[in-house]
Amino acid sequence: MCAEDPAKNDLQEWVKAEFEQSYEQLRNRDAIIVDITKFYGGLICAVCAAANALFSIGSLPAKGLLIGLFLVLSGSIGLALLGWLIAFRRYFVFAARQLNALRAHATRSLSADEKRLLVVQATDPASPRLWHRESAHIAICLIVSFVNSAVIGAGAFGILHYWLTDKYLGVQFIGGVIVAAIMFAASIAYCKRTLKERP
């Protein structure tokens, strides 16, 4: 009986170690994205409660300005969290691609029937894509972008209301909507540019 090639055994052990490490990194990146999303949800709830508390203080000077600045600052923090979400999405995809490349290497000699029997997943080393519409990570980024834009737009409305008081409420509302729309479009453009595939 022929002895196994030591070099082949070393390669198998290396592939196994790399696979385990890549899988651990994949789960870690996904868990971090979930944690950031939970923190963001708590932040938005706290911001809404604080803004409502400030609004309920009848004798607060420059109320609209304070609430507006508070909301704009909170939205800026949300934008920073959005940047983190995008960064960890990139790390997640890179770990997934490494995992798929190792899986493709380890199963390259198996037939299609054997792969089906072992329930081997897709092994395309170029998959998944950074920007994928069906990804839950992308959905989270879009939701965070929308909520941030709404918060900043509400802040802009508060600042305009401080300067214009009860005059031109329609103009103030339209101004807040325009600011929110610009922020949302800018956030989406930033997400797509950051997650753009590079050769």
| pLDDT-derived band at 5, boundaries 50, 70, 90 | low
Q: How far apart are CA 192 and CA 182, in angstroms?
A: 15
Nearest C-alpha neighbor of 193 from the set 144, 149, 141, 153: 141
User: Which has more pLDDT, 8 or 15?
Assistant: 15
pLDDT at 80 over 90: yes
Nearest C-alpha neighbor of 179 from the set 71, 99, 81, 85: 71
pLDDT at 2 over 50: no
pLDDT at 52 over 70: yes
| pLDDT-derived band at 47, boundaries 50, 70, 90 | very high
Which pTM value belongs to this model?
0.81
**Tens digit of pLDDT for each residue in 121-138?**
556 667 788 888 888 999
Q: How far apart are CA 33 and CA 86, in angstroms?
A: 9
| pLDDT-derived band at 3, boundaries 50, 70, 90 | very low
Q: What's the count of helices (H) and strands (E) in the chain, helices before strands?
A: 5, 0
Q: How far apart are CA 77 and CA 83, in angstroms?
A: 10
**Tens digit of pLDDT for each residue in 150-183?**
999 999 998 888 887 777 788 888 999 999 999 9
**Tens digit of pLDDT for each residue in 11-42?**
778 888 888 898 899 999 999 999 999 999 99
